[in-house]
């Protein structure tokens, strides 16, 4: 039996991150594919409240470690935006086939800040012979399948941030932090320095002390005024130059937070397909269930979907699956304050962990026995 599960992650690109570690050591460390690594990392970091895991299997709370600790979601938050897109497409508020100018999307794109996601999506469009326009449903697909942050902020503008955030209580996850635009938040430091005529060090202090409501409001303000005060090409270049690891850490730590317990609950709703009307799933499932495009997965899975996210410090994953024997699984894994090697190893190992859990009953019992006491 074979499963192919890939994790699409969106985050800030780090150039030369392996310098100082040693290329040989780095390669040796990150070629790890043993799924036990997830278990060992959970044991190591659980007491620090920087890692969380919630697994449901056949309606049983299989594993719950730090399930109520809010952690940054990174691009996993895009699931909520995809749900609101599907709802509005189902009720006719947006037309999935309406044309979107690639030039309009380009205004939201900041090079070297999304792990190459947007460029990869554009390359795919070129292969499919799109030119200057794409249907809105393809913009949504680029947000989930490629994790384009530019597409995400464009969809926030189209769907409405208030409506997106109304999804949270509707889903029964009221403790989920409010969602705010991703790309516009990158410009908070430079706008803050210009507004107050302060140095980088002073801006870092202000940002670290700033309450989340003000931080979100600043991101929203930049987003709302994007077309009248959109960042210039020079401002984008300056951001790329100035957005060093210290600013990246502040940005990463302030991304929308939620708990794995909440996301396991959300994933259960997507997995069982009883919470939303089927006309919503008609638009949502093609986005979320990219895994089912692979014929090997279709051999043994009825359906499966996932979304991951990452920054230099964060790795998150939310996935659900129902196999042809009727077994249902939901996995939500969030982690923060990772080292470079830990982050890279998680990217390598998570696929193997999912495969073993979904297909190996002995491994499922092993995971439960090893993590139940944490």
Q: What is this structure's pTM?
A: 0.92
Query: What radius of gyration do the chain's Cα atoms show?
Result: 20
Token pair for 265: 């609950």
* Residues 339, 314 contacting (CB under 8 angstroms): no
Give a yes or no: residue 196 inside a domain.
Answer: yes
Question: 258 — phi, psi (to 5°)?
Answer: -160, 180
Q: How far apart are CA 334 and CA 45, in angstroms?
A: 12
pLDDT of residue 28: 58
242 & 272 share domain: no
The secondary structure element, H or E, covering residue 119 is helix 117-127
- Same-domain check for residues 204 and 272: no
57's tokens: 């299997």
Q: In this structure, is residue 174 part of a structural domain? A: yes
The Cα 181–Cα 165 span in angstroms is 12
**247 plus 227 within the same structural domain:** yes
What is the pLDDT at residue 229?
82
Both 195 and 330 in one domain: the answer is no
And the tokens for 303? 């359906």
Let me know if residue 86 belongs to a domain. no
Q: DSSP state, 292?
A: G
Say if CB 371 and CB 39 are below 8 A apart.
yes
The number of domains in the chain is 2
**At 93, phi and psi to the nearest 5?**
-70, -35
Nearest to 207 by CA among 221, 193, 197: 193
Q: Which of 219, 296, 303, 283 is nearest to 255 (CA)?
A: 219
- Matching residue, tokens 């044309």: 99
Q: Quick check: is 165 in a domain?
A: yes
Look at residue 120 and tell me if it is in a domain. yes
**For residue 7, is it within any domain?**
no
By C-alpha distance, which of 239, 249, 228 is closest to 110?
Answer: 239
Answer whether residue 8 is part of any domain.
no
* Last residue in a domain, options 253, 288, 320: 253
Could you tell me if residue 89 is inside a domain?
Answer: no
Q: What's the CA gap between 269 and 286, in Å, rounded? A: 16
Are 118 and 179 part of one and the same domain? yes
- Integer angstrom CA distances of residue 98 from 101, 109, 134, 143: 10, 21, 8, 17
Do both 65 and 165 map to the same domain?
Answer: no
Do residues 139 and 108 make contact, with C-beta atoms less than 8 angstroms apart? no
Q: From residue 88, give the alpha-carbon distance in Å to each of 147, 162, 248, 299, 347.
A: 20, 13, 33, 32, 33
Comparing CA positions, the residue from 121, 115, 118 lying closest to residue 13 is: 115
Q: Are residues 274 and 212 in the same domain?
A: no
Owning domain of residue 271: 23-74+257-371
227 in the same domain as 107: yes
pLDDT reported for residue 17? 37
Of the residues 253, 283, 313, the one at which a domain ends? 253
Which of residues 253, 270, 290 is at a domain's end?
253
- How far is CA 60 from each of CA 57, 173, 177, 271, 352, rounded to the nearest angstrom? 5, 19, 26, 14, 22
Q: Are residues 110 and 243 in the same domain?
A: yes
State whether 170 and 215 are in the same domain. yes
Strand extents, DSSP E, the chain = 51-57, 60-65, 71-72, 99-101, 133-135, 257-258, 301-310, 315-323, 328-335
Q: Are the CB atoms for 186 and 149 separated by under 8 Å?
A: no
* Residue 38 near residue 353, CB atoms below 8 Å: yes
Does 128 share its domain with 180?
yes
**Cβ–Cβ < 8 Å for 175, 263:** no
Other residues' Cβ atoms within 10 Å of the Cβ of residue 32: 16
Consecutive 10-residue runs of the chain (374 residues): their mean pLDDT?
34 37 53 86 96 97 97 98 98 97 94 92 92 96 97 97 97 95 95 94 96 97 90 89 93 97 98 97 98 95 96 96 98 96 92 96 97 90
For helices 278-288 and 136-145, the axis angle rounded to 10 degrees is 50
**Domain check: are 102 and 235 in the same one?**
yes
């Amino acid at each position: 039996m074979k499963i192919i599960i890939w994790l699409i992650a969106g985050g800030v690109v780090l150039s030369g991150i392996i310098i100082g570690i040693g290329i040989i050591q780095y390669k040796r460390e990150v070629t790890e594919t043993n799924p036990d690594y997830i278990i060992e990392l959970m044991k190591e970091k659980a007491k620090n409240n920087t890692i969380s895991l919630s697994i449901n299997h056949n309606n049983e709370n299989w594993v719950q470690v730090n399930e109520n600790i809010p952690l940054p979601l990174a691009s996993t938050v895009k699931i909520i935006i995809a749900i609101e897109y599907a709802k509005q497409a189902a009720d006719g508020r947006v037309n999935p086939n309406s044309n979107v100018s690639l030039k309009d999307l380009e205004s939201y794109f900041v090079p070297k800040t999304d792990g190459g996601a947007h460029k990869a999506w554009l390359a795919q469009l070129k292969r499919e012979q799109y030119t200057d326009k794409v249907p809105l449903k393809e913009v949504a697909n680029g947000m989930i399948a490629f994790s384009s942050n530019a597409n995400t902020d464009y969809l926030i503008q189209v769907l409405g941030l208030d409506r997106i955030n109304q999804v949270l209580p509707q889903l029964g996850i009221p403790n989920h932090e409010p969602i705010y635009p991703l790309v516009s938040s990158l410009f908070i430091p430079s706008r803050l320095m210009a507004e107050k005529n302060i140095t980088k060090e002073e801006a870092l202090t202000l940002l670290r002390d700033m309450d989340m409501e003000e931080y979100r409001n600043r991101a929203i303000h930049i987003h709302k005024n994007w077309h009248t005060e959109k960042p210039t090409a020079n401002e984008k270049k300056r951001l790329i130059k100035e957005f060093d690891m210290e600013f990246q850490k502040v940005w990463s730590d302030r991304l929308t937070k939620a708990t794995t317990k909440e996301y396991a609950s959300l994933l259960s709703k997507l997995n069982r397909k009883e919470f939303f009307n089927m006309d919503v799933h008609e638009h949502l499932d093609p986005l979320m269930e990219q895994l089912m495009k692979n014929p090997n997965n279709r051999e043994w899975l009825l359906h499966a979907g996932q979304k991951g996210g990452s920054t230099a410090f964060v790795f998150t994953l939310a996935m659900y699956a129902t196999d042809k024997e009727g077994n249902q699984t939901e996995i939500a894994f969030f982690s923060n304050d990772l080292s470079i090697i830990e982050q890279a190893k998680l990217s390598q190992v998570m696929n193997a962990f999912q495969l073993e859990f979904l297909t190996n009953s002995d491994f499922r019992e092993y995971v439960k026995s090893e993590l139940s006491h944490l």
